[in-house]
Amino acid sequence: MSTNRWQKIVTPIIALLIFAAVWEFWVWYMGWPTYVMAAPSDLGPAFWRFRYLFLENSWQTLWRTVVGLGLSVVVGTLLGMIMGLSRIMNDALYPLLVGFNAIPKATVVPVVALLFIGQHDFNTVLVAFMISFFPITVSVAIGLSTLEPEYRDILRSLGASRFTIFWKIALPKTLPEFFGALKVAATLAFIGTNLVEIISPHGRGLGSLFETGRIASNYPLMFAVLIALAILGIIIYYIVIVLEKIFAGWAERRPT
């Protein structure tokens, strides 16, 4: 294994260990009891005690988040293509999308829960989608709208159709921006999922488990839920990185 690859594996692990050590020291130094701030050493017993609940609820949160993120990829890409290829549609849709994205999604959750009463899975997926599609839409729209006109003129002079220009030049050009936005959208999707699980609880997901810990004043359980969410987010993040290397590895800057 190359030195660069070892560095990419070891460096994040060392950073996490340093973070945990600083966290543990700070709690010890401040003398905080567990009902004020849980330390990393308190999380292991909480994970083990509620391990079956963590497994079940982590899966509930994960699959809803992934489905919502998948919908945001499909819809966000289509909207981005429409906006990037049409100046009129870009001028028409961009203010609407910005205004919608500016609305705090915590205020949207009760509205969605009232509109679709009892549809907990649908509501969770919908909010995860609503909060995560915007960066994908914007990145694709910008990538397509900034295609150099010289490329279009040269390819058209060679007889290439508009579809060929889009498929061979415009679409691959947006991939770096797309995967950059996808990394952001993945974390936003988790936020949307947990907003529904906490604000409109239905007994499933890590957000519901967090509420259980809050009601019972079980702070180690609450912090353990937060760490579980962070772990799921990191897993999705690295999956996106793998996909980025597969489909857009050519855009990676390599050291000289």
Quote the pLDDT of residue 254.
Answer: 53
Q: What is the mean pLDDT of residues 175-197?
A: 89
pLDDT digits (tens, 9 = 90+) for 156-172: 776 766 667 667 777 77
Same domain, 234 and 123: yes
- Asked if the structure places residue 256 within a domain, the reply is no
| Mean pLDDT (whole number) for 32-49 | 86
Q: Are residues 63 and 16 located together in one domain of the fold?
A: no
Q: Would 37 be classed as within a structural domain?
A: no
d(CA 57, CA 79): 33
The answer on pLDDT for 198 being more than 60 is yes
Reported as a single tens digit per residue, the pLDDT across 77-120 is 899 888 887 889 888 988 998 898 888 888 888 888 888 887 88
Domain of 138? 42-251
pTM given for the model: 0.84
Domain count for the chain? 2
Residues 216, 193: Cα–Cα separation, whole Å: 22
Domain assignment present for 203? yes
% of the chain at pLDDT higher than 70: 89
Say which CATH number the domain at 132 has: 1.10.3720.10
What local confidence, expressed as pLDDT, does residue 256 receive?
45
Domain identity same for 206 and 140: yes
- Residue 120 located in a structural domain: yes
Kindly state whether residue 36 falls inside one of the protein's structural domains. Answer: no
Q: Are 18 and 65 in a shared domain?
A: no
Give which of 76, 75, 222 is closest to 142, Cα–Cα: 76
- Contacts (Cβ under 8 Å, ≥6 apart) of 225: 206, 209, 210, 213
Q: Do 26 and 56 share a domain, yes or no?
A: no
Residue 171 lies in a domain: yes
Identify the weakest region by mean pLDDT among 27-36, 90-99, 155-164, 205-214: 155-164
Residues 122 and 235 both lie in one domain: yes
Q: Is residue 64 part of a domain?
A: yes
Whether residues 113 and 237 share a domain: the answer is: yes
Asked whether residue 22 falls in the same domain as residue 46, the answer is: no
Whether 10 and 128 map to the same domain: the answer is no
CA-only gyration radius of the chain, Å: 22
136 pLDDT exceeds 70?
Answer: yes
Query: Are 47 and 158 contained in the same domain?
Result: yes
Predicted local distance difference test score (pLDDT) of residue 3: 67
- Give 205-211 contacts, CB < 8 A, sequence gap 24+: 205/57, 205/60, 205/61, 205/64, 205/124, 206/54, 206/57, 206/58, 206/60, 206/61, 206/232, 207/61, 208/57, 209/50, 209/53, 209/54, 209/57
Same domain as 143, residue 98: yes
Q: Are residues 225 and 110 in the same domain?
A: yes
The answer to whether residue 149 sits within a structural domain is yes
